[in-house]
C-alpha cells in the first residue's frame, strides 16, 4: 500500500497529515496497486541498429498551438492540457477538433462533463466560419474507460480528445473517479493505446490552486507533452505554456484571446502587452522579455509611496517577491536609497510573469524612477541582470531582444557592457553599462527629488 500526494506526486509508505515536499495539508491519498501487472520484457539493442523514424505530425493549422507542440501533434503521443476551471480548455480542444475534421481527420471527442446540447451550442458558436463535415466528428458521452477503449477500437479515430481525465473511471479499480489511483491508471491505459495504435490523444485535466483534485503533477512524468493553459479569467488573454515536450522545445508559449466566437490567435503579442507607448511618466520602464523562443517587450510599472510604518508594503504582480527583496536591498546599499521608507507596488503588464533575471535592470530602474519621481526618456528599453554588488551582468539572446525592441520603435537601449560587441541596425542608440551607478548617472536619477 502506498500514499501519494495529490498536489505534487510525492509517495510515502505511511499516511501523513502534511506533505513533506510541497507542504499541502491532507493531500495524501491511498493508492492501490495497479490491477494488471503486465510483464514487460526488456530490450537490448545497439544504437547503430536502431532505425531512425521521423515522427509524423498532424497539423491543426492553429499556428499558436502547432508551434507550442513543436510543429503539430505527434502520432502516438499523449498530450496533457492542464488549467483552472473556466479558463477555456474545452473551448480550445473543441476548436482543435474542428480544425482537424476540416482537414479530413476523424476525431473522437470524449466528454464526461458536458451534455450533448451544451456541446452542440458551443460547436455551433465555434464553427460559424468553418464548413465542417459532421460525419467525421464522433462524440462520446461516457466516463467509463472500458467503453471509451472499445469505441476507440471500433471507430479507429485519427485523434482522440478526453475531456476531462478526472471524470473517467476504470471500473476495475475500487476508488472514485478523480483519485490519484484512477487518474494514473486511466492515463496509463490511454498511453498504451496511443502508442499501440499510433494516434495522438489529448487529455484535459483541471488544476485547482488548492490541488484538491488529483492534479496533472502526478501525470507529468507519464505523458509526452505537458501544456498549461493559463491567464486571468477576468481578462481575455490566455497563454498556452509548454512545460515538457518529448518531441520539441519546452518553454514555448502560444497566446490566445477569448472572444465571443472562441479563442483567437494572437500572432503579434507585442501590441497586446504594449498598448500605447505612454508619455514620459515616472515609475515606468520597458523590458524585452524572453518567453521560449519568443521575445515580448513588456511594460513594468512601479508606484512608491512613503510609509510611516516599520514594515513597508511590498506588493508584486508578475514577479518573484524574493527576487524583488534582493533588488531592493541592492538599491539600498549600492545606490544609497532608503528603501525602507517606501511602500513598493510593482506590476508587470498583461498578466505576464517574469522568470528571468535579464529584466532586473528594468525593474530596478522602474523602482528608482518612482522613488525619485524622475521619468525615463521615452522609447528606452532595459536589459541586464543586477548583481549583489550593483554590477550589471550579461544576459542571453541579446541580439533577438534588441531586434524586437527596435522593430517596435524603441530607439535607445541600455544593456550590459559584457554583451557588446553585437551587430546593430542603424538608428539605435546603444548604451553599454557595467554598474548601477553608471545607469543612474545616465538617467539623471541623482538630480531627482
Q: Give min distance, CB of 225 to ligand TYD, in A.
A: 18
In this complex, which beta carbon is closest to Mg ion, that of residue 27 or of residue 263? 263
Label the pairing between strands 57-58 and 284-291.
unpaired
Q: Is 205 in the site for ligand TYD (CB under 6 A)?
A: no
Q: How far apart are CA 424 and CA 404, in angstroms?
A: 12
Alpha-carbon dihedral 416, 420, 424, 426, rounded to 10 degrees: 80
Quick check: 372 binds ligand TYD (CB under 6 A)?
Answer: no
CA–CA separation, 198 and 14 (whole Å) = 39
Q: Which residue among 125, 154, 172, 407 contacts ligand TYD (CB under 6 A)?
A: 125
Of 213 and 274, nearer to Mg ion (C-beta) is 213
User: Which range touches Mg ion (CB under 5 A), out of 27-35, 87-95, 340-348, 409-417?
Assistant: 87-95
262 touches ligand TYD (CB under 6 A): yes
Q: How many CB atoms lie within 10 A of CB 130?
A: 12
Nearest to 158 by CA among 228, 77, 220: 77
What is the total count of residues that contact Mg ion (CB under 5 A)? 1
Taking Cα atoms as reference points, which of 367, 365, 319 lies closest to residue 339?
Answer: 367
> CB of 259: closest distance to ligand TYD in angstroms?
6
Nearer Cβ to ligand TYD, position 90 or 181? 90
Closer to Mg ion by CB, 90 or 347: give it: 90
Q: Report in angstroms the alpha-carbon separations of 261 from 91, 127, 264, 300, 358.
A: 10, 8, 8, 32, 37
Residues 7, 60, 77, 90: which binds Mg ion (CB under 5 A)? 90
Residue 122 interacts with ligand TYD (CB under 6 A)? yes
Given the rule CB under 5 A, which of 24-32, 89-97, 283-291, 416-424 is the region that contacts Mg ion?
89-97
359 binds, among ligand TYD, Mg ion, none (CB under 5 to 8 A by kind): none
Q: How far is CA 38 from CA 34, 63, 225, 426, in A?
A: 10, 40, 24, 65
- Assess 178 for contact with ligand TYD (CB under 6 A): no
Shortest Å distance, C-beta 126 to ligand TYD: 6
Angle formed by the axes of helices 116-126 and 89-102, nearest 10°: 70
Nearest-angstrom CA–CA distance, 188 and 9: 15
Site string for ligand TYD, 75-94 (x = CB under 6 A): --------x-xxxxxxx---
Q: How far is the CB of 263 from ligand TYD (least distance, A)?
A: 8
Closer to ligand TYD at the Cβ: 90 or 182? 90
Are 229 and 81 spatial neighbours (Cβ–Cβ below 8 Å)?
yes
x/- site string to Mg ion, residues 237 to 266, per CB under 5 A?
Answer: ------------------------------
- Answer for which of 69, 165, 258, 443 binds ligand TYD (CB under 6 A) is 258
Q: Least distance from C-beta 240 to ligand TYD, angstroms? A: 12
Tell me which of 25, 141, 261, 271 binds ligand TYD, using CB under 6 A. 261
Could you tell me if 13 and 2 are in contact, meaning their C-beta atoms sit under 8 angstroms apart? yes
Q: How far apart are CA 217 and CA 229, in angstroms?
A: 14
Closer CB to ligand TYD, residue 263 or residue 413? Answer: 263
Judged by beta carbon, residue 13 or residue 124, the one nearer ligand TYD is 124
Distance CA 404, CA 398 (A): 10
Residue whose CB is less far from ligand TYD, 90 or 290: 90
Strands 262-265 and 159-163 come out as unpaired
In the complex, least distance from residue 179 CB atom to ligand TYD, rounded to whole angstroms: 20
- Over the range 239-273, which residues count as b (16 or more CB within 10 Å of their CB) and which as e? bbbbeebebbeebbbbbbbbeeebbbebeebbebb
Candidates 177-185, 253-261, 307-315, 405-413; binding stretch for ligand TYD (CB under 6 A):
253-261
Q: Which residues pair with 109 in a beta bridge?
A: 139, 161
When CB distances to Mg ion are compared, the closest residue is 90
Cell numbers describing residue 311: 514594515
Q: Which value, to the nearest 10 degrees, does the dihedral of the CA atoms of residues 278, 280, 284, 289 take? A: 60
Looking at the Cβ atoms of 209 and 221, the one nearer to Mg ion is: 209
The residue behind cell 458551443 is 122
> Interface with ligand TYD includes 241 (CB under 6 A)?
no
Which partner in Mg ion, ligand TYD, none is near 87 (CB below 5 to 8 A by kind)? ligand TYD
Please report how close the Cβ of residue 85 comes to ligand TYD at its closest, in angstroms: 5
Residues that bind Mg ion (CB under 5 A): 90
Residues that bind ligand TYD (CB under 6 A): 83, 85-91, 122, 125-126, 258, 260-262
Amino acid at each position: 500500500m502506498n500514499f501519494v500526494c495529490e498536489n505534487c506526486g510525492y509517495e510515502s509508505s505511511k499516511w501523513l497529515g502534511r506533505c513533506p515536499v510541497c507542504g499541502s495539508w491532507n493531500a495524501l491519498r491511498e493508492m492501490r496497486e495497479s490491477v494488471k501487472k503486465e510483464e514487460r520484457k526488456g530490450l537490448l539493442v545497439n544504437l547503430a541498429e536502431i532505425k531512425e523514424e521521423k515522427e509524423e505530425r498532424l497539423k491543426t493549422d492553429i499556428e499558436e498551438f502547432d508551434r507550442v507542440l513543436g510543429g503539430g501533434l505527434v502520432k502516438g503521443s499523449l498530450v496533457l492540457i492542464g488549467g483552472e476551471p473556466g479558463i477555456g480548455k474545452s473551448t480550445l480542444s473543441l476548436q482543435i477538433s474542428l480544425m482537424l475534421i476540416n482537414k479530413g481527420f476523424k476525431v473522437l471527442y470524449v466528454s464526461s462533463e458536458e451534455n450533448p446540447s451544451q456541446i452542440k451550442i458551443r460547436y455551433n458558436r465555434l464553427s460559424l466560419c468553418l464548413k465542417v463535415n459532421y460525419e467525421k466528428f464522433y462524440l462520446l458521452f461516457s466516463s467509463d474507460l472500458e467503453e471509451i477503449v472499445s469505441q476507440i477500437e471500433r471507430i479507429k479515430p485519427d485523434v482522440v480528445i478526453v475531456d476531462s481525465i478526472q471524470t473517467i473511471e476504470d471500473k476495475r479499480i475500487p476508488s472514485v473517479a478523480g483519485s490519484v489511483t484512477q487518474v494514473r491508471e486511466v492515463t496509463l491505459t490511454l498511453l498504451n493505446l496511443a502508442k499501440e495504435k499510433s494516434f495522438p490523444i489529448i487529455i484535459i485535466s483541471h488544476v485547482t490552486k488548492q490541488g484538491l483534485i488529483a492534479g496533472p503533477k502526478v501525470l507529468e512524468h507519464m505523458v509526452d507533452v505537458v501544456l498549461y493553459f493559463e491567464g486571468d479569467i477576468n481578462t481575455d488573454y490566455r497563454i498556452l505554456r509548454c512545460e515538457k515536450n518529448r518531441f520539441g522545445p519546452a518553454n514555448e508559449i502560444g497566446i490566445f484571446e477569448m472572444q465571443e466566437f472562441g479563442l483567437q490567435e494572437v500572432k503579434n503579442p507585442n501590441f497586446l502587452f504594449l498598448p500605447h507607448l505612454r508619455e514620459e511618466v515616472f515609475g515606468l520602464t520597458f523590458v524585452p522579455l524572453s518567453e521560449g523562443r519568443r521575445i515580448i517587450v513588456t511594460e513594468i510599472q512601479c508606484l512608491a509611496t512613503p510609509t510611516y510604518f516599520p514594515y513597508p508594503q511590498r506588493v508584486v504582480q508578475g514577479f518573484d517577491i524574493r527576487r524583488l527583496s534582493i533588488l531592493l536591498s541592492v538599491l539600498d546599499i549600492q545606490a544609497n536609497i532608503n528603501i525602507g521608507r517606501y511602500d513598493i507596488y510593482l506590476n508587470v503588464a498583461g498578466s505576464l510573469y517574469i522568470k528571468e533575471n535579464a529584466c532586473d535592470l528594468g525593474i530596478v530602474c522602474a523602482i528608482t524612477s518612482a522613488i525619485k519621481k524622475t521619468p525615463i526618456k521615452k522609447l528606452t528599453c532595459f536589459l541586464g541582470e543586477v548583481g549583489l554588488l550593483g554590477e550589471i551582468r550579461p544576459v542571453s539572446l541579446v541580439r533577438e531582444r534588441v531586434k524586437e525592441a527596435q522593430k517596435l520603435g524603441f530607439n535607445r537601449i541600455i544593456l550590459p557592457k559584457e554583451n557588446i560587441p553585437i551587430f546593430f541596425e542603424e538608428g539605435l542608440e546603444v548604451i553599454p553599462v557595467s554598474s548601477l551607478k553608471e545607469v543612474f548617472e545616465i538617467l539623471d536619477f541623482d538630480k531627482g527629488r
